[in-house]
Amino acid sequence: MAELPKTYEPSAIESRWYAEWMARGYFHADASAPKAPFAIVIPPPNVTGSLHMGHALGQTIEDIFTRWRRMAAYNAMWLPGTDHAGIATQMVVERELKAKEGKSRHDLGRVEFEKRIWDWRGRMGDRILDQLKTLGCSLDWQRTTFTMDPPYSAAVIEAFVRLHEEGLIYRAKRLINWCPSCRTALSDLEVDYDEGVQGELYEFAYPLADGSGEIVVATTRPETMLGDTAVAVHPDDPRHQSKIGKTLEHPFVDRDIPVIADAILVDPKFGTGAVKVTPAHDLNDFETGQRHKLPMISIFDEAGIVNAEGGEFAGLDRFKARKAVKARLKELRLERGSKLHLHAVGHCQRCETVVEPMLSTQWFVKMEPLAKPAIEAVEQGKTKFVPESWSKTFFHWMYNIRDWCISRQLWWGHRIPVWYCSKCKEMTVARATPNFCGHCGAGGDALAQDEDVLDTWFSSWLWPFATLGWPNETRELKTFYPTTVLDTGYDILFFWVARMMMAGLHFMKKVPFRTVYLHTMVTDDKGEKMSKVKGNTIDPVDVIQQHGADALRFALAWLTTPAAQGKNIKFSISNVEDARRFANKIWNSARFVQMNLEGYDADRFADQVADGPDRAELDLPERWILSRVQRAAEEVDTALEEYRISDAAQAAYHFVWNELCDWYIELAKTGLQRAAPGTEARLKIQGALVTALETAMRLLHPFMPFITEEIWQQLPKGSGAPQSIMITLYPVRDVRFYDDASESSMALVQKVIVAIRAIRGEKNIPGPARITVLLAVTDDYKKTILEGYKQIIAEQGRCSEVRVRRSGASFSGEFSLDNTAMLMAGDVEVMVPLDGLVDADAERDKLHKELGKVKTDCDYLTKKLSNAKFV
């Protein structure tokens, strides 16, 4: 066996093992395997994506769960894939097209542009999946799915057609969120609101047509007055009551505007108490327009440019039009004032353009009937949220759910399966391109497919079952649906999780997952969101190269506490460095074990301990560490079951570092010195070392798959051992090795040793000096224990002699206790006679010197501080 290098070098090991695991097919789960299923579907990253810390966190968590359950003999399946990410991908390719060829997608046309995106995907796509491999993710690659794969697309179309047949999808002209830059409709969720933008509340007057005066309105968007079709006042407002029913003159367009009374829209305390009503460009105004049957006049085209309805302002962009309208109002002496006003402005989630509410014909999903079963399922505990508090957020959104605008004016995505007949103007909804109109029978030439595609989330909400073959009744669905746990960031609770709940219950009649584990967001160490613009990103790919995937994974696991609302993981590279130190510690503990294995026989040791430590006649340190490793196993396993990932990681860390390394290896060193090669005593120590380390490697494997495999492979194993740590059994408590008596004995011994070391430290007893230690105990039981393990105490405390007495019994006659240091170890008095150990004069000199130096420093600093100029 080659000796391990002194420092752990992850890069040498990681890629080798990943390839090996792949080759041996360990990642694949057979849907027919007679084992309890455990399934996770990956939140599919965008095909445009590159691995960022958020992915690294999620995938680490998912891999921990998957490897852990796989080792616990579950049929563990973790399904990979990517999302076509409509807007995001289209934007990336359009940008590239512009940069390289100076062309827009319209220059290419739809067919050619779609081809370019597929080309792009061929070149760049799935890079993120390769990056997941470097992270060590044990994904079932044979099941990799892309949301635009033909079978998946068929599932998307199937879902659309079924919902349409059921009357849950409809087409309507409604006020929707429009991005003038992306030139597409957006759902409510895709609009982000910047809180507290400083804006202007601008006031201007509409003259009454009869010349009897004017009404002053207040608005943050003066340009929309071009589309005003009413001015509303509160019916009870004495200032305006007389004007209700009168007509106003529009200064720029040939249109008379009624003054209407509306108690819902108007808050008489705000602004001037009169509200201009633009039904085509504001949601509240739209609803007001419906109540009062007002005309709805769209004044912008799809790029946000004023159209012909805007008269003299036609052709101006929204924001230029605002200035122009204000300027003209001023000229006409209709401007009445202006105030600063804090308000929120909606931006496109993708391109940050200010969203324009527009009147538009779009496709919608009726959500209320879908939401109801999902709410019930969570209420009944069919799906549980971890942390539980998120279910409240879920309920709140679900109870107030609004219809979902699913059509997008994009070219990249699943095209809406609806055809319009040029003859009879009816539409046909079909799973495949129809040959004739379903209404008038006109031939295929008369039919034109809807130009729009579906919202990306309309495909991802089918992910947990469409990836498993739906709508076919597959073996995969039978085995792996419902999936066991869904892990994702809480930011897509509504976008994705809630919608999957609805789709799963609707199409599969079962919840899509039993547990939703919501993890936090990763930010930089100051709590700022990582972004390329800010330059505060930490690239997981770089981190892996520098410190290894294991270190990154362990750092993330360590930080993964339940996702309390409003909290995030403040991540810094020092977290990874800490984890790397841990990896190095593990590595060196393995080196120690390996250096002391001469003559070890794994099978013989296994035989000896087959019936537990009593029959094997193990000594205290061995009994202790074998008991402690069971406690650690129980702690880690329980923590994982309860989704306490950080607790699990910390329990394993604590065991390895503070028990195995700090104590047991130290005990084993002297134990091995005492036990001659080839003896039973030596075999027992070697066995305990190997067992504790091997168990720790299995415990840690889900967190740090590479280093644990590497070390595990090098450890001696009994005959018939599996070929890889990946397919060993996860440690669960083995009560045969629980040994309360040994643990409490050892705890006492440890306390005494710590006290002795403390005395040595305090009294500056030189390291090599052997000291005499006197222990006074309160009862015979403790006396027996300490007598029994005197040798260990002496070795660890560097004592030449350890004597134990009942307290009260005098040591007089044996030692002069005049010059003795004493410390309590629990209720044990630990005494160290200092005569001859500490040279009192030398000690005094040393202290004097120190005092002198401190005084000098103090004087110097006092002087410095009393210098006014310095301060």
* Footprint of RNA on 156-195 (CB under 7 A): 188-189, 193, 195
Binding-site member from 465, 494, 703, 730 for RNA (CB under 7 A)? 494
In the bound state with RNA, the residue whose beta carbon lies nearer, of 531 and 810, is 531
Helix (H, G, I), strand (E, B) or coil at 739: coil
- 113 and 121 in contact (C-beta within 8 Å)? no
Six-digit token string for 448: 């034109």
Helix axes 127-135, 10-23, angle to 10 degrees: 110
The CB-of-527 to RNA minimum distance in angstroms stands at: 7
Question: Hey, what amino acid is at 467?
Answer: T
Stretch that binds RNA, among 74-82, 148-156, 662-670, 859-867 (CB under 7 A): 662-670
- Using CB under 7 A, which of the segments 146-154, 460-468, 760-768, 775-783 binds RNA? 760-768
The secondary structure of 209-242, three-state, reads CCCCCEEEEEECCHHHHHHCCEEEECCCCCCCHH
Residue 637 binding RNA, by CB under 7 A: no
How far apart are CB 96 and RNA at their closest, in Å? 30
Q: Is the peptide bond before 731 cis (omega within 30 degrees of 0)?
A: no
Cβ of residue 515: shortest distance to RNA, in angstroms?
18
Nearer to RNA, 684 or 760 (CB): 760
Tokens of 122: 């061929």
Residue placing its CB nearer to RNA in the complex, 138 or 224 = 224
Interface characters, 594-623, with RNA (x: CB under 7 A): -x----------------------------
Q: Is 724 in the site for RNA (CB under 7 A)?
A: no
* Residues linked to residue 39 through DSSP beta bridges, in sequence order: 77
Please state the closest distance from residue 91 (CB atom) to RNA, in A. Answer: 22
Of the candidate spans 108-116, 252-260, 304-312, 758-766, the one that interacts with RNA by CB under 7 A turns out to be 758-766
Among 198, 380, 400, 435, indicate the residue that binds RNA (CB under 7 A): 400
Q: Which of 44, 125, 271, 705 binds RNA (CB under 7 A)?
A: 271
In the range 316-345, which residues lie near RNA by CB under 7 A? 342-344
Choosing from 247, 565, 679, 810, the residue that interacts with RNA (CB under 7 A) is 565
| Nearest in space to 621 (alpha carbons), one of 550, 551, 565, 670 | 670
d(CA 382, CA 396): 18
The CA-based dihedral angle spanning residues 190, 195, 199, 203, taken in that order and rounded to the nearest 10 degrees = 80
C-beta separation of 645 from 519 below 8 A: no
Continuous H helices in 173-307: 283-292
273 binding RNA? (CB under 7 A): yes
Measured from the CB atom, is 149 or 200 closer to RNA? Answer: 200
Can residue 665 be called a binding residue for RNA (CB under 7 A)?
yes
- Give the shortest CB-78-to-RNA separation in angstroms: 26
Q: Of 18 and 494, which has the nearer Cβ to RNA?
A: 494
Cβ nearer to RNA, comparing 104 with 531 = 531
* Residue of 525, 539, 634, 829 interacting with RNA (CB under 7 A): 525
CA distance 355 to 361: 17
Q: Cα–Cα distance between 830 and 849 in angstroms, integer? A: 30
Query: In the complex, what is the shortest distance from the CB of residue 40 to RNA, in angstroms, rounded to a whole number?
Result: 23
The tokens describing 208, both together, are 């009454």
Q: How far is the CB of 849 from RNA (least distance, A)?
A: 11
CA dihedral 327, 329, 331, 333 (to 10 degrees): -140
With beta carbons less than 8 A apart as the criterion, state whether 434 and 447 touch: yes
Q: How far apart are CA 321 and CA 282, in angstroms?
A: 17
CA distance 265 to 387: 39
Residue span binding RNA (CB under 7 A) among the ranges 55-63, 113-121, 262-270, 835-843: 262-270
- List of residues 6+ apart from 245 with CB closer than 8 A: 258, 259
> Does residue number 298 form part of the binding site for RNA (CB under 7 A)?
no
Residue selected from 15, 181, 298, 389 as contacting RNA according to rule CB under 7 A: 389
The only residue of 148, 156, 275, 511 in contact with RNA, by rule CB under 7 A: 275
d(CA 445, CA 434): 10
Query: How many Cβ atoms from other residues are within 10 Å of residue 527's Cβ?
Result: 11
- Footprint on residues 3-22 left by RNA (CB under 7 A): 6-8
With H, G, I as helix, E, B as strand and everything else as coil, classify residue 449: strand
- Nearer to RNA among residue 76 and residue 176 (C-beta): 176
Which residue lies nearer to RNA by CB, 98 or 392? 392
Q: How many CB atoms lie within 10 A of CB 311?
A: 14
Residues in the chain: 871
Q: Identify residues 800-859 at the interface with RNA (CB under 7 A).
A: none
**Does residue 355 touch RNA according to CB under 7 A?**
no
Say if strands 37-41 and 75-79 run parallel, antiparallel, or are unpaired: parallel
Pick 353 or 449: Cβ nearer RNA: 353
Least distance in angstroms from the C-beta of 210 to RNA? 23
* Least spacing, CB of residue 218 vs RNA, in Å: 4
Q: Which of 276, 326, 684, 783 binds RNA (CB under 7 A)?
A: 276
How many residues bind RNA (CB under 7 A)? The answer is: 78
Report in angstroms how near the CB of residue 363 gets to RNA at its nearest: 19
Q: CB of 701 within 8 A of CB of 63?
A: no
Q: Which of 761, 808, 813, 836 binds RNA (CB under 7 A)?
A: 761
Joined tokens for residue 438? 């379903």
The reply on whether position 585 binds RNA by CB under 7 A is: yes
Q: How far is the CB of 476 from RNA (least distance, A)?
A: 33
Nearest distance, CB of residue 687 and RNA, angstroms: 18
What does residue 250 show for φ and ψ, rounded to 5 degrees? -80, 130
Among 149, 403, 634, 666, binds RNA (CB under 7 A): 666
Site pattern 669..708 for RNA (x: CB under 7 A): x---------------------------------------
Q: Which of 80, 279, 562, 671 binds RNA (CB under 7 A)?
A: 562
Q: Provide the edge-to-edge strand list for the sheet that holds 513-519.
A: 384-386, 513-519, 483-489
Is residue 713 close enough to count as binding RNA by CB under 7 A?
Answer: no
282 is a contact residue toward RNA (CB under 7 A):
yes
In the complex with RNA, the residue whose CB is nearer, 82 or 224, is 224
Task: Give the tokens for residue 392.
Answer: 């409240």
Stretch that binds RNA, among 175-183, 319-327, 431-439, 589-597 (CB under 7 A): 589-597
Whichever of 202 and 458 has its CB closer to RNA, that residue is: 202
Q: What is the DSSP letter of 724?
A: -
Which residues touch 169 (CB under 8 Å, ≥6 apart)?
160, 163, 363, 364, 365, 366, 406
Question: Which of residues 814 and 827 has its CB atom nearest to RNA in the complex?
Answer: 827
Stretch that binds RNA, among 244-252, 411-419, 500-508, 642-650 (CB under 7 A): 642-650
Q: How far apart are CA 745 and CA 724, in angstroms?
A: 37
List the one residue from 762, 780, 845, 857 that touches RNA (CB under 7 A): 762
Q: Which of residues 184-243 bind RNA (CB under 7 A)?
A: 188-189, 193, 195, 201, 217-221
Which string of b and e fits 144-158 if b means at least 16 CB within 10 Å?
bbbbbbeebbbbbbb
CA–CA gap between residue 73 and residue 82 (Å, rounded): 28
Please state whether 586 falls in left (phi above 0), alpha (psi between -120 and 50) or beta: alpha
646 or 819: whose CB is closer to RNA? 646
**What's the CA gap between 452 and 406, in Å, rounded?**
10
Q: What is the 3-state composition of the chain as percent helix, strand, coil, each rounded to the nearest 5? A: 45, 20, 35
Scan residues 527-546 and list those touching RNA (CB under 7 A). 527
